[in-house]
Amino acid sequence: MAGLGRLVGRVAVVTGGSRGIGRGIADLFAQEGARLVIVGRDAASGNDAVAAIGKSGGRAVFVEGDIALAETSRRMVATALAAFGRLDILCHNAGIFPEARLDAMTEAEWDRVIAVNLKSTFLATKACLAPMRAQRYGRIVLTSSITGPVVGNPGLAHYAASKAGMEGFLRTAAIECAADNITINAVEPGNILTEGLVSTLGEKHITAMKAAVPMGRLGEPIDIAWAALFLAGDEARYITGQCIIVDGGQTLPETGSAVN
């Protein structure tokens, strides 16, 4: 496996790690020497990710479950400790972004997005604290979004609220955990080209999205993975409660005409 060995000896849990941004994070962390617990709802894609990492010389196991449930977070931590004896890094990446305008959005749709994206952030973080505090070391990296903390997007009010809430959570959680040498930070992706984005929006919408990005292209999962690797490593040991925007400059222009 290629890599500089920046995570050799570390054990990382990556939620939503079987596809999209999470898969990019898992693959890069494995290349850098981390042993992995990949968490997701789809066993087929999860086992594919584990097999690919193993084929490249890494070590990974898969935990199937709904991250909105506390039991899934408990199992992922127990699995990390049983399989690898420790837990150093949590990359909480799992999330959903179904579109629904306010007048059509149901209470059930709102509750599901908040549960999967925001409640799970609390559950996953809380589950990891005991082993991290015991070893006085931990890195927690959340996958947030520019939508909510920085910009809005019609049809994604529930998603935007969940991501803005995630960042409010991390600032207080970072204070509570700092004395135990546990850092909590977030990456705010812009529009990243993943399977979910293509299936949800379609090629025509994606072409329009590219035009709004000063760099002229959408990001790739590896772009988020590099930021997560920095926050999960020793180079970021004195950074906590912070958010890094990775969006190709998407949030910079004052108007759409400024891009061109």
pTM of the model: 0.95
Tokens at 6, concatenated: 């920046």
Q: In total, how many domains does the chain have?
A: 1
Count CA within 13 A, CB hemisphere, residue 61.
Answer: 13
**Residue 37: band (very low, low, confident or very high) from pLDDT cuts 50, 70, 90:** very high
Task: Confirm whether 257 is domain-assigned.
Answer: no
**223 is in which domain, residue-wise?**
11-245
Mean pLDDT of 205-232: 94
Task: For residue 257, name the pLDDT band (cuts at 50, 70, 90).
Answer: confident
Q: Is residue 250 part of a domain?
A: no
Whether 202 has a pLDDT exceeding 80, the answer reads: no
Q: Is 144 helix (H, G, I), strand (E, B) or coil?
A: coil
Is 159 noted as a catalytic residue in this protein? yes
Q: What is the pLDDT of residues 66-99, one digit of tens each?
A: 999 999 999 999 999 999 999 999 999 999 999 9
pLDDT of residue 207: 87
Task: For the chain, give the mean pLDDT.
Answer: 95
Token pair 């629904």 is found at 100
Any domain includes 99: yes
Q: What is the pLDDT of residue 151?
A: 97
Alpha-carbon torsion (21, 22, 27, 29), positive or negative: positive
**How many CB atoms are located within 10 Å of the residue 202 CB?**
10
- Residues written for the chain: 260
Assigned domain for 145 exists: yes
Domain assignment present for residue 256? The answer is no
> The domain spanning residue 188 has which CATH number?
3.40.50.720
Confirm whether 141 is domain-assigned.
Answer: yes
Cα 84 to Cα 54: distance, rounded to the nearest angstrom: 15
Catalytic residue among 94, 113, 159, 162: 159
Q: Is residue 2 part of a domain?
A: no
Most confident of the following: 1-5, 194-198, 223-227 = 223-227
CA dist 38 and 18 (Å) reads: 7
Query: Whose structure tokens read 């760099």?
Result: 215
Of 117, 97, 110, the C-alpha closest to 191 is 97
Distant-in-sequence, close-in-space partners of 254: CB < 8 Å, separation ≥ 6: none
CA-based torsion, 167, 169, 172, 178: positive or negative:
negative
